Structure 1
Amino acid sequence: MYLSHLVEIINRGLSFTEAERRLRENGPNVPLDYSFPRWWNLLWTAFFHPFNIILIVLSVLSYITNDVPNGCIMLVLVFISVSLRFYQEYSSSKAAMKLSELVRCPVKVQRCAGRVVQTELIVQVDQRDVVPGDIVIFEPGDLFAGDVRLLSSKHLVVSQSSLTGESMATEKTADVREDQGTPLLDLKNICFMGTNVVSGSGTGLVVSTGPKTYMSTMFSAIGKKKPPDDFETGVRRISYVLIAVMLVVVTIIVLIDYFTSYNLSESVLFGISVASALTPQMLPLIVNISLAKGALSMARERCIVKSVTAIRYMGSMDILCIDKTGTLTMNRAIMVNHLDSRGSSKEKVLQFAFLNSYFKTDQKYPLDDAILAYVYTNGYRLQPSKWRKIDEIPFDFIRRRVSVILETDSHAEYGNLQLCERFMVTKGALEEVMKVCSFIEHIDKGEITNLSPEDYQRILSMAEEISNEGLRTIGVAIKRLKPKNGDRNLVDNETFESDMVFLGLITFYDPPKDTAKQALWRLAEKGVKAKVLTGDSLSLAIKVCKEVGIKTTHVITGPELELLDQDSFHETVKRAAVLARLTPTQKFRVVKSLQTVGNHVVGFLGDGVNDSLALDAANVGISVDSGVSVAKDFADIILLEKDLNVLVAGVEQGRRTFGNTMKYIKMSVIANIGSVVSLLISILVLQYEPLTPRELLTQNFLYSVGQIAIPWDKMEEDSVKTPQRWSKKGLPMFILWNGPVCTLCDRKFPSFRMLLHGPSSVLQW
């Protein structure tokens, strides 16, 4: 009974009622229940800062002591600071949410309806509403909405680069039985959520959705809260130090003032004014204005900043990990050469490869487009009009080759062959083409000989050398045919793809972007070291890296990393510039190793599902708007253009933001500490308030207002040449040397007034 029900589902599809029940049971079809932060979460994050809390407490105390203007000033500062940061992060979050909505594409599913007679219907549903048991129909460009067992397929080619990182597409077919030991991603009859159809079509049974898909297994380490960085830790330590100093100094000043004037309310009011003077009131505002200004500058460079703190990380970043495919490369095939069996470039090999690609009609693959583009852009005159197509043997994933049968009216000669009759032209996977070849043409000599074992091995060795250089190869073979019984439209089946003549190889390459080398050079100038983390082959990664200027002295692969112990792993990751054939988990481990052992600030640029773990773990995750939705969800910055030069601008802006922020912190801390110390000494020496609370607050307010211009201040070129990090010793040493100078030069300090007006002025003060 269960088997018959299963057969009925496969034949007809689920009913609408059953689909709704399964949706309630399994939940929405999303691999990870990731939700963007709510507005109240963003508001709380923007509000919760030590100095904001201090200002609010001081404003409340000011209201209690009837100092309403002072309380209003401090509340206004808090309001501006919180509003600015909240607005920036909320706007960025909304923009990112809109991008994620764009990837919600409809999925064609087969459902059945009707009470008496069940009728099959093809309907479109949102990918979130796909359930296990649905029959999905897919065509070129479609995304798989779950893990799918193929029921039927026609010339199906699937890109799994979002899972594996490999740029080359994978052939899939329903008519195959896989062994139990076959790796999961190598299964030919299974398509995975997050992958997409390059060409071909078919139907499939959804076997798992949402958190039960293969994609979801990558996310076990995602979502853990990141520890605060050095900047946040340093600012909080300063906050706590200032709070401690404030409590001690204010207590002393209030007690001294009270025992001098015996007026408790005036003493408390003066203490609040001193506490306000000691607090860097503008710090949250200056930091948020600087970050918001950086976000606006990066928006002009066509990138969305989801978290403004990522700009600060950009300024501190000293290692950028890059996924090769589509980032360093164009992510498309370019034809490189046409070689005969001896490795020499021969036009005849190109001519027949071109005729095959030109006349085939069943499916056009990217390699066909590359061959046609090569011929058209290099000025070859191959005159396809002199040929006409008789028949075609389409590509399939068992033969892994495609053949076209052509005929020419002219007696044009190609080598020593007169193509005045029918001719079969075959191209495809090299080994599969060579299986049907019995002869080999030596184009230089103009002769055809038997394909010997030595020839066979030589060609395979040549192809392996080409592959080690990072190129992909396909084989080309030809065969002269004769019509059967004079019928010009029939070909004897016994002659199909057998006893063919091997001509040569066509090589392809995924070239690097024109802007990649320049951008990497500019990043290196600014102290940012690039590391390539890819799931592609090592040979291809090395070739691309050499062309864009990345040193390939130290390279390693994922399987080799797995054999290392923990210490060797960290040391190898530190030295290696190219890490190939990495799994998503290995990319995550590499990023964490660089952060923890190397104490680096790591950026990661990736756009696939296989990059999500590393994007979440990196200090600053960077994706692109064409990336998969999961990658964009976990990225801090989304590029609207896949151009590394945008990152260079982001690094420069991050360093300017960091420099201006540190400029304010240093200036504000030493000025406030110097001012309060001078007040304390003045009260101890004179036992008199050098300034009234109102004067003190007015002076402090005017000083703070003038600091609003700091985010627009220019930075020296040297300050953006190297990564900017929080120095644990730098700020204390700066305060130690400049604090006393600030105290001595403060007008509230007795010795300063004595120098200006003489000793009597101190007594008159």
Structure 2
Amino acid sequence: MNADSNGLSNAEALSRLIKYGPNIFRDHHELPLLIQFLSRFKNPLTILLLVASAISAFTGEMTDFVIIMVMVISSVTLDFVQEHRASKAAESLRRSVSVCAIVIRDNKTLEVPLVNVAPGDIVLLSAGDIIPADGFVLEADDFFVKQALLTGESYPVEKKPGPLASDSIDLQSATNAVFMGTPVVSGSAKILAVKTGASTAIGAIADSITRHPPPTSFEISTHRFGLLILRLTILLVLFVLLVNALMHKPLLESFLFAVALAVGLTPELLPMVVSVTLARGAVSMARKQVIVKRLASIQNLGSMDILCTDKTGTLTEARITLQQHVDPQGNGSERVLELAYLNSFFETGLKSPLDEAILDHKNIVVDVWKKIDEIPFDFERRRVSVLVENGESQWLVVKGAPEEIIGLCTCYSVTS
């Protein structure tokens, strides 16, 4: 990336922004509102209603013309307004999050808008920051990142500089890399930005979901139903005209009868009923803090029987509950709970779900205890050690991976 510890110069950063583009996802331009509104008249059923209303006006049936036009325009307008408002709400929510990043440029620390982060920038991160680009970790201090946005795994992952393990094959195991959009849970780090905008891992996902979606099964079904009604109406009108012609009926009278038949066969209220029903569903979802961008998607959600997911953490609360605390013989032991509580209580840094479960299980008085020192958890030792004293004795309480702890033990305690 031709970068050093002094960071990019402002001129080089500007040059790279021109070359690689701003640090934003690809923006899909929307059609003008008038085109979006008119495109909703492409439904065969809507076309049939418009033709029927035009014929009614041509033959002097102004009441039928007005009723049909009011129903069609009201239905299309309701549909358009509801989806347009939802899209604007989603866009407003996205733009309301104005994120900045702290970078090193010309050997100076600067705060720049996220959009101005360029490949090759040295970025400084701390707890609570959102990572502004995909990059490599240069320095790290107790640096944990939550990657659930990309991997579905709810537990934070420690990031540190150095080469990858030989068996690293996915984002979760890339311990020397960070990814745009993921939050920093604890610690601090210095990273080298490598990819920005649509080139990032989350940028590829964002690009795929912002494309115009394919029609839903509900839209396909209503389209087919509209074509069916259109074909039946045309066939019946032609049949009536043919029969009347064979019976030597007056042509004008036969035509008016066929038009009346076409108007009678057309379900004028159907588009309105569908739009009102889906709009009520959107309002109901809005009360639950859900923005519905496409009304037709509500029917898909309502017809779902089974939801399949590949990550348990996506659906569960990612919380652990302590059920038992036992000694090596499997008997309940208050001493085991006391030792685990002391370790979790005095441990500093990031609290794991296991620590939270231990501390929530029972309150143990620790006023008599004082922490002397601590060796925090790391992925080489795979354990955390806390040295405490109560004025009479000192305890070194160690908690970690079972195979590591058992490997260190030379004896164990029994009930007696």
TM-score in terms of structure 2 length: 0.85
Check if 1:430 corresponds to 2:397: no
Residue 319 of structure 1 corresponds to which residue in structure 2? Answer: 306
Secondary structure at the residue paired with 1:244?
helix
Write out per-residue CA displacement over residues 185-226 of structure 1, whole angstroms, 9 at most, x where no aligned residue.
Answer: 212211223433222221211111233223456689765634
1:76 pairs with one of 70, 74, 81:
70
Q: Deviations over 1:103-131 (max 9, x none)?
A: x451422142xxxxx451230423x4432
261 and 364 in structure 1: CA distance in 2 versus 1, 3 angstrom threshold = closer
In the other structure, the counterpart of 1:367 is 354
How far 1:421 sits from its partner (Å)? 3.3
Letter in 1 for 2:109: L
Deviations 1:216-246 (A, max 9, x none): 5668976563475562354134223333224
State the identity as a percent: 37
Q: Supply the distance in 1 between the matched residues of 2:165 and 2:38 (Cα, whole angstroms).
A: 54
What whole-Å deviation, never above 9, does each CA across 1:560-598 have from its counterpart, x for those lacking one? xxxxxxxxxxxxxxxxxxxxxxxxxxxxxxxxxxxxxxx
Whether 1:197 aligns to 2:184 is yes
Amino acid at match of 1:444: T
Q: Give the letter for the 1:120 counterpart.
A: K
8 Å CA contact 1:42, 1:90 repeated in 2: no
Separation of aligned partners in 2, 1:178 and 1:301? 43
What is aligned with 1:15?
9
Could you list the per-position Cα deviations for residues 257-298 of structure 1 after superposition, in whole angstroms to 9, with x for gaps in the alignment? Answer: 9x5457x4x665554333222222222112212222232333
The answer for the alignment partner of 1:251 in structure 2 is 241
Distance verdict in 2 for CA 1:327–1:217, change over 3 Å:
closer
- Matches of 2:295 and 2:188, distance apart in 1: 43
2:151 to 164, 184, 187: 164
Return closer, same or farther for 1:334/1:193 CA change in 2, 3 Å cut-off.
farther
Amino acid in the other structure paired with 1:122: L
**Mapped pair 1:29 → 2:26:** no
1:6 aligns with 2:9: no
Contact 1:401/1:426 (<8 A) preserved = yes
- Name the amino acid aligned to 2:386: V
1:58 equivalent in alignment to 2:30: no
Determine the C-alpha separation between the residues in 2 that align with 1:216 and 1:373: 39
- Kindly indicate whether residue 367 of structure 2 is the aligned counterpart of residue 393 of structure 1: no
In structure 2, list runs of 5 or more residues that go unmatched.
none
Which position in structure 2 is the counterpart of 1:240? 230
- Structure 1 residue 38, shift from structure 2 partner: 6.2
2:388 maps to 1:406: yes
In the superposition, relative to structure 1, how do residues 72 and 346 fare at CA in structure 2: closer, same or farther (>3 Å)? Answer: same
Q: In the alignment, residue 402 of structure 2 is paired with which amino acid?
A: L
Whole-Å separation in 2 of the counterparts to 1:188 and 1:314: 37
From 132, 137, 146, the equivalent of 2:133 is: 146
CA pair 55-184 structure 1, distance change in 2 beyond 3 A:
closer
Distance 1:82 1:254, change over 3 A: farther
1:211 partnered with 2:198: yes
Q: Quote the offset at 1:153 in angstroms.
A: 0.9
Q: Deviation per CA, 1:342-387: give whole Å up to 9, x if none.
A: 33332212212222222233444443333222222xxxxx431112
Structure 2 vs 1, CA of residues 243 and 132 (structure 1 numbering), >3 Å: closer, same or farther? farther
Give the direction of change, closer, same or farther, for the CA distance of 1:431–1:203 in structure 2 (3 Å limit). farther
C-alpha deviation, 1:141, in angstroms: 3.4
| RMSD of Structure 2 on Structure 1 (CA) | 3.2
Give how far 1:168 is off. Answer: 3.1
Taking the aligned partners of 1:36 and 1:335, their CA distance within structure 2 comes to: 52
Q: Deviations over 1:467-489 (max 9, x none)?
A: xxxxxxxxxxxxxxxxxxxxxxx
Instruction: Output the amino acid matched with 1:245.
Output: L
**Hey, what's the Cα distance between the residues in 2 that align with 1:299 and 1:37?**
26
Partner of 1:86: 80
Counterpart for residue 178 of structure 1 = 164
> Offset of 1:149 from its aligned partner?
0.5
Matched, 1:225 2:214: yes
Structure 1: stretches of 5+ with no match in the other structure: 113-117, 377-381, 410-419, 446-765
Q: Which letter does structure 2 place at the counterpart of 1:110? A: V
In structure 1, how many angstroms separate the alpha carbons of the residues matched to 2:159 and 2:405? 19
Counterpart pick for 1:106 among 81, 99, 116: 99
**TM-aligned CA distance change 1:166 to 1:327, over 3 Å:** closer
- Contact 1:253 1:271 (C-alpha < 8 Å) held by counterparts: no
Which runs of structure 2 are paired with 1:537-552 in the superposition (5 Å)? none
**Judging changes above 3 Å, is the alpha-carbon distance between structure 1 residues 342 and 167 closer, same or farther for their aligned structure 2 residues?**
farther
**SS of structure 1 residue aligned to 2:113:** strand
Code of the aligned partner of 1:225: P
Q: Decide whether the 8 Å contact of 1:14 with 1:110 is kept in 2.
A: no
User: What is the rounded CA distance, in whole Å, between the counterparts of 1:353 and 1:80 in structure 2?
Assistant: 66
Q: Helix, strand or coil: the match of 1:75?
A: helix
Larger radius of gyration: 1
SS at match of 1:339: coil
Amino acid at match of 1:312: Q
SS in 2 for 1:340: coil
What amino acid does structure 1 have at the position aligned with 2:102? Answer: V
Q: Give the partner amino acid of 2:401.
A: A
Q: Does structure 1 residue 310 correspond to structure 2 residue 292?
A: no
2: CA distance, partners of 1:83 / 1:304: 19
Instruction: Tell me how far apart the structure 2 counterparts of residues 220 and 295 of structure 1 sit (CA, whole Å).
Output: 25
Q: Tell me, yes or no, if the aligned pair for 2:3 and 2:121 is still in contact at 8 Å.
A: no
Secondary structure at the counterpart of residue 158 of structure 2: strand
- Partner Cα distance (1:189, 1:304) in 2: 36
Go from structure 1 to structure 2 and tell me whether the alpha carbon gap of 1:107 and 1:374 turns closer, same or farther (over 3 Å shift): farther
Distance 2:287 2:403 in 1: 51
**Cα distance 1:148–1:94, how it changes in 2: closer, same or farther (>3 A)?**
same
